[in-house]
Protein backbone atom coordinates (compact mmCIF):
# COMPACT_ATOMS: atom_id res chain seq x y z
CA UNK A 1 0.00 0.00 0.00
CA UNK A 2 1.28 3.42 -0.97
CA UNK A 3 2.08 5.69 1.97
CA UNK A 4 0.01 8.86 1.98
CA UNK A 5 1.91 12.10 1.59
CA UNK A 6 1.39 14.86 4.11
CA UNK A 7 2.51 18.41 4.57
CA UNK A 8 2.16 21.00 7.31
CA UNK A 9 0.27 24.26 6.82
CA UNK A 10 0.44 27.21 9.20
CA UNK A 11 -2.43 29.67 9.25
CA UNK A 12 -0.77 33.12 8.92
CA UNK A 13 -3.47 34.80 11.02
CA UNK A 14 -3.95 32.35 13.90
CA UNK A 15 -0.65 30.48 13.77
CA UNK A 16 -2.62 27.22 13.87
CA UNK A 17 -0.54 24.30 12.60
CA UNK A 18 -2.39 21.69 10.56
CA UNK A 19 -1.14 18.46 9.02
CA UNK A 20 -2.75 18.03 5.60
CA UNK A 21 -3.04 14.58 4.02
CA UNK A 22 -2.53 14.88 0.26
CA UNK A 23 -4.74 12.97 -2.16
CA UNK A 24 -3.21 10.17 -4.19
CA UNK A 25 -3.08 10.56 -7.99
CA UNK A 26 -6.01 8.12 -8.20
CA UNK A 27 -8.08 10.21 -5.78
CA UNK A 28 -7.24 13.38 -7.69
CA UNK A 29 -8.27 11.73 -10.98
CA UNK A 30 -11.50 10.40 -9.48
CA UNK A 31 -12.45 13.83 -8.16
CA UNK A 32 -11.61 15.53 -11.47
CA UNK A 33 -13.17 12.97 -13.81
CA UNK A 34 -16.31 11.97 -11.89
CA UNK A 35 -16.60 13.94 -8.67
CA UNK A 36 -17.19 17.21 -10.49
CA UNK A 37 -19.97 15.84 -12.72
CA UNK A 38 -22.83 17.13 -10.52
CA UNK A 39 -21.35 20.63 -10.79
CA UNK A 40 -20.82 20.15 -14.52
CA UNK A 41 -24.46 19.08 -14.88
CA UNK A 42 -25.62 22.28 -13.21
CA UNK A 43 -23.28 24.39 -15.38
CA UNK A 44 -24.55 22.69 -18.54
CA UNK A 45 -28.11 23.29 -17.38
CA UNK A 46 -27.30 26.98 -17.02
CA UNK A 47 -25.74 27.03 -20.49
CA UNK A 48 -28.23 24.89 -22.41
CA UNK A 49 -31.58 24.47 -20.67
CA UNK A 50 -33.26 27.80 -21.39
CA UNK A 51 -32.22 27.72 -25.04
CA UNK A 52 -33.37 24.12 -25.46
CA UNK A 53 -36.72 24.82 -23.83
CA UNK A 54 -37.20 27.93 -25.95
CA UNK A 55 -36.42 25.94 -29.08
CA UNK A 56 -38.82 23.18 -28.06
CA UNK A 57 -41.63 25.70 -27.54
CA UNK A 58 -41.00 27.24 -30.97
CA UNK A 59 -41.01 23.90 -32.78
CA UNK A 60 -44.16 22.08 -33.79
CA UNK A 61 -43.16 18.83 -32.07
CA UNK A 62 -45.74 16.43 -30.65
CA UNK A 63 -45.77 16.46 -26.84
CA UNK A 64 -44.78 12.79 -26.60
CA UNK A 65 -41.55 13.53 -28.54
CA UNK A 66 -40.51 16.75 -26.80
CA UNK A 67 -38.62 15.04 -23.95
CA UNK A 68 -36.77 12.79 -26.37
CA UNK A 69 -35.88 15.74 -28.59
CA UNK A 70 -34.72 17.77 -25.57
CA UNK A 71 -32.54 14.86 -24.44
CA UNK A 72 -31.02 14.44 -27.91
CA UNK A 73 -30.25 18.15 -28.22
CA UNK A 74 -28.69 18.28 -24.75
CA UNK A 75 -26.49 15.24 -25.36
CA UNK A 76 -25.43 16.51 -28.79
CA UNK A 77 -24.53 19.93 -27.36
CA UNK A 78 -22.61 18.31 -24.50
CA UNK A 79 -20.64 16.09 -26.89
CA UNK A 80 -19.84 19.15 -29.02
CA UNK A 81 -18.56 21.04 -25.96
CA UNK A 82 -16.51 18.08 -24.78
CA UNK A 83 -14.85 17.34 -28.11
CA UNK A 84 -14.35 21.03 -28.90
CA UNK A 85 -12.48 21.41 -25.60
CA UNK A 86 -9.73 19.00 -26.66
CA UNK A 87 -6.87 19.24 -29.16
CA UNK A 88 -7.92 17.53 -32.39
CA UNK A 89 -5.70 14.45 -31.97
CA UNK A 90 -6.91 13.91 -28.40
CA UNK A 91 -10.53 14.55 -29.44
CA UNK A 92 -10.16 11.90 -32.15
CA UNK A 93 -8.84 9.37 -29.62
CA UNK A 94 -11.59 10.22 -27.13
CA UNK A 95 -14.28 9.94 -29.81
CA UNK A 96 -13.06 6.47 -30.88
CA UNK A 97 -12.89 5.32 -27.25
CA UNK A 98 -16.33 6.75 -26.53
CA UNK A 99 -17.79 5.03 -29.61
CA UNK A 100 -16.31 1.73 -28.45
CA UNK A 101 -17.83 2.19 -24.99
CA UNK A 102 -21.19 2.98 -26.61
CA UNK A 103 -20.87 -0.20 -28.68
CA UNK A 104 -20.03 -2.20 -25.58
CA UNK A 105 -23.04 -0.77 -23.71
CA UNK A 106 -25.33 -1.39 -26.69
CA UNK A 107 -24.14 -4.99 -27.06
CA UNK A 108 -24.54 -5.53 -23.31
CA UNK A 109 -28.11 -4.27 -23.55
CA UNK A 110 -28.96 -6.29 -26.66
CA UNK A 111 -27.66 -9.56 -25.22
CA UNK A 112 -28.50 -8.76 -21.57
CA UNK A 113 -24.91 -9.46 -20.54
CA UNK A 114 -21.90 -7.66 -19.08
CA UNK A 115 -19.15 -8.32 -21.63
CA UNK A 116 -16.41 -6.93 -19.37
CA UNK A 117 -17.51 -9.25 -16.54
CA UNK A 118 -17.47 -12.16 -18.99
CA UNK A 119 -13.95 -11.19 -20.10
CA UNK A 120 -12.84 -11.02 -16.47
CA UNK A 121 -14.28 -14.49 -15.76
CA UNK A 122 -12.47 -15.87 -18.80
CA UNK A 123 -9.20 -14.25 -17.73
CA UNK A 124 -9.53 -15.75 -14.26
CA UNK A 125 -9.66 -19.20 -15.86
CA UNK A 126 -6.06 -18.82 -17.09
CA UNK A 127 -3.92 -20.77 -14.65
CA UNK A 128 -0.64 -19.09 -13.62
CA UNK A 129 0.82 -22.56 -12.90
CA UNK A 130 0.69 -23.33 -16.64
CA UNK A 131 3.45 -20.77 -17.27
CA UNK A 132 7.16 -20.56 -16.52
CA UNK A 133 7.19 -17.56 -14.22
CA UNK A 134 5.28 -14.33 -13.74
CA UNK A 135 6.51 -12.69 -16.94
CA UNK A 136 5.37 -15.60 -19.11
CA UNK A 137 2.02 -15.69 -17.28
CA UNK A 138 1.40 -11.99 -17.93
CA UNK A 139 2.33 -12.44 -21.60
CA UNK A 140 0.07 -15.51 -21.89
CA UNK A 141 -2.76 -13.66 -20.19
CA UNK A 142 -2.43 -10.73 -22.61
CA UNK A 143 -2.44 -13.07 -25.60
CA UNK A 144 -5.48 -14.92 -24.27
CA UNK A 145 -7.36 -11.68 -23.70
CA UNK A 146 -6.56 -10.47 -27.21
CA UNK A 147 -7.89 -13.74 -28.68
CA UNK A 148 -10.93 -13.78 -26.38
CA UNK A 149 -12.41 -10.64 -27.97
CA UNK A 150 -12.53 -12.46 -31.33
CA UNK A 151 -13.89 -15.77 -29.98
CA UNK A 152 -17.59 -16.67 -30.19
CA UNK A 153 -19.19 -16.37 -26.76
CA UNK A 154 -22.30 -18.28 -25.63
CA UNK A 155 -23.66 -15.18 -23.85
CA UNK A 156 -23.57 -13.36 -27.20
CA UNK A 157 -25.27 -16.08 -29.25
CA UNK A 158 -21.79 -17.28 -30.33
CA UNK A 159 -20.90 -13.84 -31.72
CA UNK A 160 -17.49 -12.61 -30.73
CA UNK A 161 -17.48 -9.54 -28.45
CA UNK A 162 -15.76 -7.51 -31.18
CA UNK A 163 -18.41 -8.55 -33.73
CA UNK A 164 -21.26 -7.79 -31.31
CA UNK A 165 -19.82 -4.34 -30.62
CA UNK A 166 -19.18 -3.66 -34.33
CA UNK A 167 -22.73 -4.68 -35.22
CA UNK A 168 -24.18 -2.50 -32.47
CA UNK A 169 -22.19 0.49 -33.72
CA UNK A 170 -23.16 -0.09 -37.36
CA UNK A 171 -26.81 0.67 -36.57
CA UNK A 172 -25.70 4.24 -35.77
CA UNK A 173 -22.97 4.63 -38.39
CA UNK A 174 -20.34 4.77 -35.62
CA UNK A 175 -18.05 2.06 -37.00
CA UNK A 176 -17.26 3.99 -40.16
CA UNK A 177 -14.06 5.98 -40.67
Percent above pLDDT 70 for the chain = 98
Looking at residue 98, its pLDDT comes to 95
DSSP 14: T
- Angstrom distance (rounded) from CA 93 to CA 18: 43
Domain extent, residue 55, equals: 38-85
Looking at the fold, whether 25 and 53 belong to one and the same domain comes out as: no
- Quote the CA–CA distance of 61 and 80 in Å, as a whole number: 24
Looking at residue 172, its pLDDT comes to 93
Same domain, yes or no: 103 and 175 = yes
Residues 73-98 have a mean pLDDT of: 94
Is residue 156 domain-shared with residue 92, that is, in the same domain? yes
Q: Is the pLDDT of residue 167 over 90?
A: yes
Same domain, 94 and 80: no
Q: What is the structure's pLDDT at 63? A: 82
pLDDT in tens, 102-132: 999 999 999 999 999 999 999 999 999 999 9
Q: What is the pLDDT of residue 2?
A: 60
* pLDDT value of residue 88: 95
Q: Give me the helix-helix angle, 50-58 and 63-84, nearest 10°.
A: 140
Residue 1 pLDDT level (bands cut at 50, 70, 90):
low
Domain total in the chain: 3
Amino acid sequence: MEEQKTHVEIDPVTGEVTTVVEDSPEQIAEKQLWGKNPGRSHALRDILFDELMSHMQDENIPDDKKWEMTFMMAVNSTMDLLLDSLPTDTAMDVSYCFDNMLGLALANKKYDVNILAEAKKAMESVNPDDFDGEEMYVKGLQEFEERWWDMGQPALGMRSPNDAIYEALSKYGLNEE
